[in-house]
Structure 1
């Protein structure tokens, strides 16, 4: 099931339509765990729209529960990471933010009365056919969200829905006939697959150096920072049992498991102790910061590290980027300790030497050389008149789902789609680390009569093409700034 989701996740969540739903009111309550290493409340900005961490938390938690139900309760944090659930959730709210920017340009709004009416119609908050304030409040508490934030999210979804309701995809008779013709075509095809295993990809050192000389400006060092660091330990304070119990009572909503079930004090006592120590040590860290600025004490040690080294959090690296030489950042938490940082020196990026860059150059050049050799071998096969004469065991159509050995299922799908979307009788189709040389030996046209099914497929095709173009336009029109590490990577 996990494998299927990974291969098909673009069909599950990479659409603008899910961004107009975002699971609000669907009844999902649950939380996986993740960490950004940052406590900032705004995790990204898309155009003029800021993405709040609480909104991301809710979307991620609800997606976690949704997929957990599909996997019959077997989803854990490791599987969620394998599925890329973090970035799936981010992509949903990023796309919604892009739509909201567009809605702003079009002047699309949702009135208070529309919002109230929609809220009262959500079945999850209904009891005996009426809106229940008690159920609503329990839902907010379970999701750790205020009514103000929840209703702001619901308003956003309604605005995005108003925008997407303007899009129409009903096909014309001419479009239906085109799709009927395309689906009725079948090809008898001969093909050969060339794989990386067939290629001798030994690298010539002179050719490698030549490639580096031509591309060396692409191989740059990261900025180097010489920093003086002052750590303030948090373990010097030992809280009493009364303090521990009082702190837990006031903050027990923060101590829950992945099913949103409160954890007992015995289960989280060691965490509560650390939280109290961090709270109590904050004043010590601020005092040390002032003393260091006044040159009454020295830093703990001096180090030279690359920019964004994981010794420090992304938030602290942002602080370092904003200070001048010999200035000091305010104390912040790293691994249960407070740290302040003085900028001693910064070495800007430079072009790497050949020796420094060689591991990266080899990796890039091997890929380029492999692609070139695959192309050359495929051309040889195509020019050989004695090859590509025996057709595949049955005609292929654009809807063929066969696995065409030695291609896997996904590669077979890509080959068939590319075969039917070009007008070449013979040619070469490129796949990752593979090439397919092909020749169409004959072609047939079958008349398809199922107009209703064709109309549905035509509508889906129009929607997919529109969606692809729209998302590309939105990406250009409303650029995304990400403020926390670990988001936005594919």
Structure 2
């Protein structure tokens, strides 16, 4: 009976994560470091889009910092590994890359004007406005306080808008958030599902208790097997011209004309002081773009004599993904059209392209040792968990669907575990078709045995149920989209 109920309870996992998405989804902006041994310069390739080491590192640190802030600064790397944060971030980047591939095939793009309109008028960015008008000072403060560049932030807005365009073409309800029709059977089924709870025996095997002391021969053998994963990043020798926006001069009458053509929404033609800096910057950028196109023409014809020679590596954090991907996909001798570079514009001519090279054993020995220990410890965890599974005695806990308040305050816990580990373990328990099973999360193994189950039905007329039914149906519609995209575009993961 328990196995049957577990099998038919699996779909509840979708709802658990939908309810928690505001607290465990992607978001936040900051910069830090996170490193893996990678195949070339990529953590994954989706269709024609590579997800670079730098892109993954930035996305990981963004999410780590966001969750650390939510937990009052108590999150550490061990806890992040425990919850599988790296896997969650990679899944998000892959989903984003699937959308971008499809957008390229359909010819969909997001213009600079659309990005500017979203930031200056979008509902999500009301905090950047003063009296309903976009405030450049607030924008600058937002960028500075989050430790990011405007270029990075605007790239995130661009990807968000691109995703919305795709989804609105396929399932407009996902974007409009319009309520979907709910049948009585759906309402009753979901309310019953939320009330299921298990009495579970839980035992934990700590990975740190497993000592691994590798020999030199074992490390060298591991390196030989994986040495293609330990490579220097690709690099590009380029001629570079940067046109600074702030250096663009203008006359007051030019600025006034630009304002009247692009900004006026009221009868007054006077530029409000609250947005004057914004208007000036936008006008200077327009002029800088024109100058950059002139420099592009000279560089393309080898008439530019003041170009700076620079080496750019594929894992650079100074240059945007747009720039790095353009360098990767373009041939030697190509002159790239001007691209945004912060507030400025950059034009590059590729002089040389240097492919990744394998690093020697001595150069990566410390990294190899860490990864070897992690790999062997994981193998030992699986062996120990399998050996103890039928005979372990554990702590009895109640595994049940968390309430809305427990999710919003992150107070849900299983056996004294932290919120994120508890949510991950709950997913494994609900997902299991066996009454006795185990899950590896982070560096630990969790053995669980479902002793009994019970049901305490909720009120199926509760508006909370209607909201959750709607969310589940939205999620299933979105899943259909991504199932289609996953079939259309090949996904290769290198970590």
> Do the two structures share a fold, i.e. TM-score over 0.5?
yes
Match of 1:188 in 2: 199
Match of 1:170 in 2: 183
Q: Go from structure 1 to structure 2 and tell me whether the alpha carbon gap of 1:333 and 1:450 turns closer, same or farther (over 3 Å shift).
A: closer
Corresponding residue to 1:97 among 160, 165, 170: 165
CA apart distance, 1:470: 1.7
Instruction: Please give the alpha-carbon distance, in whole angstroms, between the structure 2 residues aligned to 1:252 and 1:89.
Output: 24
Secondary structure in 2 aligned to 1:51?
coil
Match of 1:343 in 2: 350
Q: Go from structure 1 to structure 2 and tell me whether the alpha carbon gap of 1:180 and 1:208 turns closer, same or farther (over 3 Å shift).
A: same
Q: TM-score, normalised by structure 1?
A: 0.55
How large is the Cα RMSD of the aligned pairs? 5.3
- 1:52-71 map, 5 Å: 52-61=111-120, 62-65=122-125
- 1:45-84 map, 5 Å: 45=103, 47-48=105-106, 49-61=108-120, 62-65=122-125, 76-77=142-143
Corresponding residue to 1:418 among 404, 410, 428: 428
Instruction: Please give the alpha-carbon distance, in whole angstroms, between the structure 1 residues aligned to 2:242 and 2:381.
Output: 55
Match of 1:466 in 2: 476
* Contact in 2 for aligned 1:404/1:412 (Cα 8 Å): yes
Match of 2:256 in 1: 249
Q: TM-score, normalised by structure 2?
A: 0.55
Secondary structure in 1 aligned to 2:109?
strand
Relative contact order (C-alpha < 8 Å, sep 6+): which is higher?
2
Secondary structure in 2 aligned to 1:222?
coil
Match of 2:400 in 1: 397
The count of corresponding residues between Structure 1 and Structure 2 is 369
> 2:437 aligned with 1:427, yes or no?
yes
Instruction: Please give the alpha-carbon distance, in whole angstroms, between the structure 1 residues aligned to 2:245 and 2:433.
Output: 69
| Structure 1: runs of 5 or more not aligned | 12-42, 104-156, 481-490
Q: Go from structure 1 to structure 2 and tell me whether the alpha carbon gap of 1:365 and 1:178 turns closer, same or farther (over 3 Å shift).
A: farther
CA apart distance, 1:408: 0.8
Q: Could you report, residue by residue, the CA deviation over 1:311-361 in whole angstroms, capped at 9, with x for unpaired residues?
A: 666666566567654565567775788765443322334444434555654
Q: Go from structure 1 to structure 2 and tell me whether the alpha carbon gap of 1:198 and 1:455 turns closer, same or farther (over 3 Å shift).
A: same
> 2:213 aligned with 1:208, yes or no?
no
Instruction: Please give the alpha-carbon distance, in whole angstroms, between the structure 2 residues aligned to 1:301 and 1:238.
Output: 20
* Contact in 2 for aligned 1:101/1:478 (Cα 8 Å): no
Secondary structure in 2 aligned to 1:217?
helix
Q: Could you report, residue by residue, the CA deviation over 1:124-180 in whole angstroms, capped at 9, with x for unpaired residues?
A: xxxxxxxxxxxxxxxxxxxxxxxxxxxxxxxxx699769x88x755253xx677656
* Contact in 2 for aligned 1:47/1:479 (Cα 8 Å): no
Match of 2:132 in 1: none
Corresponding residue to 1:293 among 288, 302, 308: 302
Match of 1:7 in 2: 23
